[in-house]
Structure 1
Amino acid sequence: MNWRALPRRAFPYLIAAAGGFLLSYAAVFLFAFPAQVLPDDGILPNVVGKTFEDASAILTKAGFPAQQGESRYTKSTPSNIVLQEDPPAGSRQKRGTNVVLALSAGQKTAEVPVTTNMSQQQARIAIENTGLTMGNVSEQLADQPRGLVIATNPPAGTKIELPGSVDVVLSKGPATVQMPDLFGRSAGEARSMIEQLGLRIAGMSRDTSSLQPENSVIRQIPAAGQTISAGGPVSLTVSHFPPPPSIKIDTGISAPPPSSPPLPPSRFPLPASR
């Protein structure tokens, strides 16, 4: 083996290895410290349409720190996507300039509130306070008192896009109702209780022979304690005092006759007395 010729043969390999090492070092340095090897200014890359994380990485590599700006609700762009950059893309800026990125907040949503056991008006206020509107209102038989909310569609806690509406289901009351005792209650109070139970007034008659207070219930059909189907009829009888008869009192004193009108003056003068 010719030992003297060995260094000459290895020399090209040493040159190639050294060149490769220098290129690798330069590439790593350029990637890790781009702002120190690039010129002082540069063209801002376009990052609109990218996620904030991807946009931040692209800008940082180009020597421009990224800063999160305002969030805007938009129906057409998913959340966390860059909508706008400031300064604008394509402009020449000094490296190190902060680039503010406006992001999409996605479609604005609202959470359906809890309205169970609220009245229809209370539920409407609670729903509208979230930015939603009340949709269809329906009724179904339930154990809850008539007129109270028993369910919503979508259910409470669901997030829905704005604008949106919430359908409400109200209770019609139970399938069967036990008749309450209405005796002695005013007609208005009895009517309110009957309607609250999901029943209806079939008729209301008056009894002038009762000694109960005026306009108070003295009879009911069905009787108190009986079971009646929801929506069933209820008849009531209430007390009523007829107006007292007018009494003409004879005092025995007759009215004086009308006075006679004065006589007109005579056209013939009376003879003078002697």
Structure 2
Amino acid sequence: MRQEIFRTARARRGLWAVALVVGAAVAGYLASLIMYPAPLVRRDTKVGLVVGLPVAEAEKELTAQGFRVKVADTREADPALPPGHVVWQEPPASLELPEGSVVALTLSGGPAPVTVPDVLQFDLAVARQVIAAAGLSVGAIDSVPASADRGVVVSTRPAEGTPRAPGARVDLVVSRGPAEVRVPDLAGMTEQLARQRIEIVGLSVGLVQTRAPGRARPGTILEQRPAPGVLLP
């Protein structure tokens, strides 16, 4: 009987010892929660949606939520978002992350540039259509004398292949036909000198006939057709 009582008392003392240890552990844990809550309790926060926001505003919002922000060095072309706005975020919005997690942002570089198309030797009306189809617009139109037919595009500003922002203007230069040339006066010149003079102004020598010089020096020009001063294309 005495032995049984001794065993019961010893068992009770063991239970009290365990209870004291557990109580001390719980008390210590609760005290640590009160004094040092951050290291022991890590709260997950829902990532906010910052796509479409300017980068400064996006960084401010994510930092306020307790996240760190990393902005990608490269930009992504986007026809809708202006440069410097967030076009992509990783992790995406609504995902819950521990405070201090990194949210990576990719920024818009604006619309992709458009290449000026080749419209040389195109009629002006066709050139307008090609430029509009490329996403650009026609700016100033100038005309210059040229060997090309009237109304044909002979150059563009900027030149073909140049990257431009969508909707940018492209100036056109069209031909107004060959320039008119005034026929020089060749009377009294030698045939060789007359040929040189004609070639200088952009004309060519036609039929050459000879006749008695009369009072003129042999080998010099007596008459010409067309007459001096006539305008030729």
- The structure richer in strand per residue is 1
Higher relative contact order (CA 8 A, sep 6+): 2
Structure (1/2) with the larger helix percentage: 2
TM-score after normalising by structure 1: 0.40
The two structures have a TM-score, normalised by structure 2, of 0.46
